[in-house]
Structure 1
């Protein structure tokens, strides 16, 4: 195999394109994820440390530029930033994300050259998952589009998420890539001692996933399981019109009209409106009379996103909230969004980022809330995930661990325009249902709204940028999955074990001699 710069770049480009096409979006051809890393592995087996670093950076940068291009829409169109500042924002975020890819490439090369394939098969996936986990919490965390999310439309393949979260699914995907890489590598990698254990593990995962899927689906059909009818309303309010004073009454009227249409077909106990569907402070009472009249007339409740303020002496704080509105009353304690979006809902190191002021001037500097008791409404104990919070598995886990028997994801994806971001956001929300074994209701202003059952099956979903309403009967499961009980255990363990082997081989170089998975470059 040629070893020049052209080969390195072609391999980086191939990995980036295969991954980008596999992730959710207009194409979203998920089977490619099982071979996408193979071109990268082939060049890592012979390249230098410097080349591995460059190859990792290049692959990561190209991939995340293709995955995160929609941030330009957020910054330029709705944030009011100059195009060159918006482009720089996308570039530097992609550059930061590519650092993890570069670290993976360098450390994988080292493992290839230091350890036998029988160990590499398990340690390289552990390294990938460990770095993903770090990306999920460092600098407030941005766990956007980990590998496992490519399979969100294949519930039969993702049931192991109730054990180790989406990270366990990512682990299996990297093993498949390594298995194919070893299959087409040298004789030392094609030995049964290498390929058979990997294949056996993957078959065991498939058997578990298929069995759990059947069990959950069968349980969902049990007449004794508690059920509730929930309605979703997708208002499709344009972002540049949403906060206009002249449009406030029209916004309320549209949501009420769509909500009334739900009752032509069913009688939902709860109607769910998206994040900031009420673009005003509900406690001021303005525009609230027709909403209270609706809940009284139909004997229902509305769960909606709305800004909220609290007064403590002379201090006033604001939050991005979710409130439950019943006949003639508004719950006093809303849920306030816990994990805020940096440079969207608050400005880190405020005062040092003058150019970013236009991005936040319309929504202010919000105060984070905390996860406590689920919002209660009849038999519902609701865990709320507002917008960006659905990408953080631990938030959904904390809600269920606190007693939630259903999850609601309220979001306003109008910020993203007609891009791949709404598909990506939906994909991550699907995994929250599987991990926690809870029904999930996703209400999005412009889409994609959806009902997801505890098996990860998307029962119904909306199109983008259309007004939409639908109701569905959902199961209310109790009990806690292994993921809910133990949370982040698998991913940190992966990081610990993989890095322990890296340090061990560094201190005991050449301990495996000719048994290393790949020969050292000449």
Structure 2
């Protein structure tokens, strides 16, 4: 029975408005599905093929449902925030174990950076939604440009480029070869091209009556060809093997000894423990040099030892004795003070004569780990200390001449700064070395994700890259992105790596020479598209319609 009417309202009928969750259930589901697919595409699970479809559900929903600007931003924000919270959950480890925070509070605070980074996904979704509302199906053409623009913009604004979509393909050398042109953002662009086509095809399948069948078959054929290309690229990368040096090349080999000492983070706060582990590291190095008689360079990782060559003459003397005795170069992490009272997280290189021949001071500091951002702007934030110490960012890119090899070294989180290894390579580095300490994040996915970022740096510049870490994962990565050797996490290890010497200076890749021109171009296109979505696109659509 119908309820009795009172004016325009029906008495006894349910309210005219459904609950917010019911009305938005499709959008919420798509946002959470996209974020979930991408979380499992990255370590610890590392199901990287899912990154080829992860964004498609979000794109499909944004294009199919009549969502406004707020709705588009909200769905994108939800997807991005849950992705960063789920894939970077390991940030809570150091808060709990070394920051002294309760577990519940650490996980609550972890929401803040996740939302900050996820807001860039929200911006992407907002602009994409506006363009699709103006241009209809043609809006999908702009999705790859918008995605790369927001990924690159995220790094420019926050200095955090962690887990950009292109990193998901780090273990597929055939795919990430594109990074030699566009960097990691070029790989992201490719992923979005495929997913835009997938979402577009799925959307049109619900409206076949509006299409002639020949266009449907063309779309299916195009998708099939694209899938074959992607599969062949991945298949060829998996079946390929790095080149084996010829006997002539073996005569020009460069031999490196990498030490992974697995020093606990607690040593940072205990001078006695520091001394004990330093002596152990010295003894391990001497023993390894006695085993491997032909060594050109010894590499020590970033570690909690806080070695200072300027402040500790006794330590410097012991290191000089080591290199002179064995006739080797030594590259190590050091903490140095410069007037008036500035501290730098740095890398120093000692020659076989015991001289400090090069120093690189870390440029890309880690927010809240090595400095606290927004000091002086937010009153209470001045009271927060940086977890590993307050450092000053360096300003010079240093390339060290180690024999006839030119070494460009960088430190820890700088593996997620494409510009730093690129600049070192442009200045002549023929070998890249990363020293790092992922012990702050314990037995989590952080170390594996960090390795994936380093792989892209090697491929972008077509240079072999050696990772020497405190507690894992140390690795030898070729310029093609192959991992020749790697250690396990949380183990004491010594690695002897042989790197072919280059005959002359290797050619620079397009990315090394021109940097993020693809990302900048995508930002320009995305900006024009955003302006068009605000009003100019109406005339563009009419022109396209007439054609």
The alignment's TM-score, normalised by the length of structure 2, stands at: 0.85
**CA shift for structure 1 position 463:** 0.8
Match of 1:520 in 2: none
Confirm whether residue 507 of structure 1 aligns to residue 527 of structure 2.
no
What secondary structure is seen at the aligned counterpart in 2 of 1:360?
A: coil
Contact 1:380/1:405, CA 8 A, preserved across alignment: yes
Match of 2:467 in 1: 442
Match of 2:129 in 1: 109
> How many angstroms apart in 2 are the aligned matches of 1:76 and 1:330?
41
Contact 2:175/2:234, CA 8 A, preserved across alignment: yes
CA deviations on 1:144-183 (whole Å, 9 max, x unpaired) are 1001101111112110110111111111111121222233
Distance change >3 Å, CA 17–CA 514, structure 1 → 2: farther
Q: 2:153 aligns with which of 134, 145, 169?
A: 134
Contact 1:412/1:444, CA 8 A, preserved across alignment: yes
Confirm whether residue 94 of structure 1 aligns to residue 114 of structure 2.
yes
Confirm whether residue 39 of structure 1 aligns to residue 91 of structure 2.
no
Confirm whether residue 14 of structure 1 aligns to residue 14 of structure 2.
no
Q: 1:227 aligns with which of 242, 247, 253?
A: 253
What secondary structure is seen at the aligned counterpart in 2 of 1:460?
A: strand
Contact 1:249/1:287, CA 8 A, preserved across alignment: no
Distance change >3 Å, CA 114–CA 475, structure 1 → 2: farther
> How many angstroms apart in 2 are the aligned matches of 1:495 and 1:137?
12
Contact 1:343/1:356, CA 8 A, preserved across alignment: no
Match of 1:237 in 2: 263
Contact 2:405/2:431, CA 8 A, preserved across alignment: yes
**CA shift for structure 1 position 353:** 5.7
Query: Which of 1 and 2 has higher RCO (CA within 8 Å, sep 6+)?
Result: 1
Q: Any gaps of 5 or more consecutive residues in structure 2?
A: 1-20
Q: 2:91 aligns with which of 67, 71, 92?
A: 71
What secondary structure is seen at the aligned counterpart in 2 of 1:509?
A: helix
Match of 2:397 in 1: 372
1:309-328 to 2 correspondence within 5 Å? Answer: 309-311=337-339, 315-327=340-352
1:330-345 to 2 correspondence within 5 Å? Answer: 330-331=355-356, 333-345=358-370
> How many angstroms apart in 1 are the aligned matches of 2:416 and 2:107?
24
**CA shift for structure 1 position 199:** 6.7
Q: 1:417 aligns with which of 436, 442, 445?
A: 442
Q: 2:517 aligns with which of 474, 480, 489?
A: 489
What secondary structure is seen at the aligned counterpart in 2 of 1:282?
A: coil
1:147-166 to 2 correspondence within 5 Å? Answer: 147-166=165-184
CA deviations on 1:331-378 (whole Å, 9 max, x unpaired) are 165211111122222223435464674642762x22221233401211
> How many angstroms apart in 2 are the aligned matches of 1:223 and 1:496?
48
Distance change >3 Å, CA 244–CA 462, structure 1 → 2: same
> How many angstroms apart in 2 are the aligned matches of 1:212 and 1:8?
36
Distance change >3 Å, CA 257–CA 282, structure 1 → 2: same
> How many angstroms apart in 1 are the aligned matches of 2:516 and 2:129?
27
Q: Would you say how many aligned residue pairs link Structure 1 and Structure 2?
A: 508
> How many angstroms apart in 2 are the aligned matches of 1:78 and 1:271?
30
**CA shift for structure 1 position 63:** 0.9
**CA shift for structure 1 position 514:** 12
CA deviations on 1:366-400 (whole Å, 9 max, x unpaired) are 22212334012111211111111110111111101
Say what the alpha-carbon RMSD is for the aligned residues: 3.0
1:442-481 to 2 correspondence within 5 Å? Answer: 442-477=467-502, 478-481=506-509
Q: Any gaps of 5 or more consecutive residues in structure 1?
A: 517-522
What secondary structure is seen at the aligned counterpart in 2 of 1:396?
A: helix
What secondary structure is seen at the aligned counterpart in 2 of 1:320?
A: strand
